[in-house]
Amino acid sequence: MTPFDPNALPAFLQTRRWFGGKGLPIKAIQVLEQVVINARGDRARDDEEGFTLAVLEVQYPLIHPERYLAPLKVDPDGTIHEAMEDDALGRALFRIIREEKRVPSAGGVMRGEIVGDPSVLRALPVEPGVRRISAEQSNTSLIYEDRVILKLIRKIDIGNNPEWEMGQFLRRNGFRYTPPLLGGIVLEGGPVHSTVAVAHQFVPVESDGWSWALEEMRGAHLSPGFLAEVKKLGARLGELHRILASDPTDPLFAPEPIQTEDLQRWAASIVGELGVTMAAAASSVPELSRRHEELIAHIQRLATVKPSGSKIRIHGDLHLGQTLRTAGEWLIFDFEGEPARTYAQRREKHSPLRDLAGLLRSFAYACASLELKGAPLIDRETPIRKALLQGYLSEATAPGLLPEDDETFDVLLGTMELEKLLYELRYEIHHRPEWVKIPARTLMELNAQKEGPRPA
């Protein structure tokens, strides 16, 4: 096995879809850890062809360093290639999990682990068929025999990826509306402790929730069947939160009462985001500056309401694109949290209403984008909001989970929606200028005194 030439790494990374630092100057790349495996998923001997899984720390002159997982194939002349395109590596990774292998790495060990009943993984052949997904994604996923999907985590951080932690918790505590976690690969015992890959059951998906909702909402009225499904999604989210709040003995998941300090911290952070967003929007949405003070006052209400309800582990990046439709049911997936945040930030407990705000904003977006495309102008948002909240409240029933008083509930939810709106505006300014008007219009019309309707 030829060692790779680290000098070739910057050019290699610049061509990778999953590399977030594209176009930025790179100061240095350090190989923090590496493990070389053969096609059987064991450590490759020196005289054997192998794949190198390298943990790279990319240092930039201006921003914090980032860590990436790079599976590499090295030609005899030292040239490096992306190895995930090789089915042999896909099968080797599968085998590491299926046989719970321990592979020595440069500084520690790479270890496969099965979660739950091993028979699902072991029912597959040792050398299963492999295919790739067509969807754009930030990680790299492989599908085995249409039964198992493995996601290799690209941008890694020290510690457990939230998807690995959440998947185990949800499985242990019986949440049925997500594809079950089957296993994973972790690096440990050396300079890097991190989740390398997670494997879930592959479900036959009819559509993702976003495309499905757009299709259902196009017409001149919303069907009762559609609204019943929206209510059901709310109920699934309510059950998710009830289960996430169900184990006071697990310190990583134990619900904690929301304190005034939490509300103040969240409010301060959203005021900060407002400042950044205002600056970014100065030329594209100049009229927004008129609303600066009013929006600050809106956010500040969060710091002054009576603290009530719990903070818990949440999905953290919930929108319709993180839901799947299968056999008339909703599945919620991709529990890795917001990729731009550190693992520690993503694992922080928060108000469950943050996830609800994510779904509400996602439906609002779907409504607005349909209107932009010429769909009939009807009020879709109000009935959807009502149905989603009704479903949610029917299942998010754990004692102390949600704020007791309506004011705290409404202010928390309203501020979480505002936080999403600010994120949306920044995103659209940088990526889709023609959609800037969707969040901009809502921000201009937002009425600080009146939150959305809350069904009785």
Ligand X SMILES: Nc1ncnc2c1ncn2[C@@H]1O[C@H](COP(=O)(O)OP(=O)(O)OP(=O)(O)O)[C@@H](O)[C@H]1O
Q: To the nearest whole angstrom, how small is the minimum distance from the Cβ of residue 157 to ligand X?
A: 14
> Considering Cα of 61, then 62, then 68, then 73, what sign does the dihedral take?
negative
- Candidates 32-40, 87-95, 229-237, 336-344; binding stretch for Mg ion (CB under 5 A): 336-344
Residue 410 interacting with ligand X (CB under 6 A)? no
When CB distances are held under 5 to 8 angstroms depending on the partner's kind, the choice from ligand X, Mg ion, none that residue 395 binds is none
Residue 163 interacting with Mg ion (CB under 5 A)? no
Sole binder of Mg ion in the list 239, 334, 410, 424 (CB under 5 A): 334
Distances (CA, A) of 276 to 85, 92, 273, 423, 434: 39, 45, 5, 10, 20
Sole binder of ligand X in the list 63, 133, 276, 344 (CB under 6 A): 133
Tell me if residue 391 falls in helix, strand or coil: helix
Q: What is the DSSP string of 52-71?
A: EEEEEEEE-SSS--EEEEEE
Which residues contact residue 51 at a Cβ distance below 8 angstroms, ignoring those fewer than 6 apart? Answer: 36, 37, 38, 44, 71, 72, 73, 83, 86, 88, 89, 92
Residue 211 interacting with ligand X (CB under 6 A)? no
- Residue 74, classified by CB atoms within 10 Å of its CB into exposed (0-12), middle (13-18) or buried (19+), is buried
Site string for ligand X, 150-189 (x = CB under 6 A): -x---------------------------x----------
Residue 205 interacting with ligand X (CB under 6 A)? yes
When CB distances are held under 5 to 8 angstroms depending on the partner's kind, the choice from ligand X, Mg ion, none that residue 246 binds is none
Structure tokens at 367: 């409504």
Residue 334 interacting with ligand X (CB under 6 A)? yes
Pick 47 or 136: Cβ nearer Mg ion: 136
Q: Write out the H or E segment, with its range, that includes residue 229.
A: helix 224-244
Alpha-helical (H) ranges within 41-158 are: 87-98, 119-122
Give the C-alpha separation, 300 to 297, whole Å: 5
When CB distances are held under 5 to 8 angstroms depending on the partner's kind, the choice from Mg ion, ligand X, none that residue 151 binds is ligand X
Q: To the nearest whole angstrom, how small is the minimum distance from the Cβ of residue 339 to Mg ion?
A: 6
- Candidates 26-34, 198-206, 241-249, 424-432; binding stretch for ligand X (CB under 6 A): 198-206
Residue 207 interacting with ligand X (CB under 6 A)? no
Tell me if residue 387 falls in helix, strand or coil: helix
C-alpha 438 chain-centroid distance = 23
Q: To the nearest whole angstrom, how small is the minimum distance from the Cβ of residue 114 to ligand X?
A: 16
- Candidates 68-76, 97-105, 130-138, 373-381; binding stretch for ligand X (CB under 6 A): 130-138
- Name the site residues for ligand X (rule: CB under 6 A): 133, 135, 137-139, 141, 149, 151, 179, 200-203, 205, 208, 333-334, 336
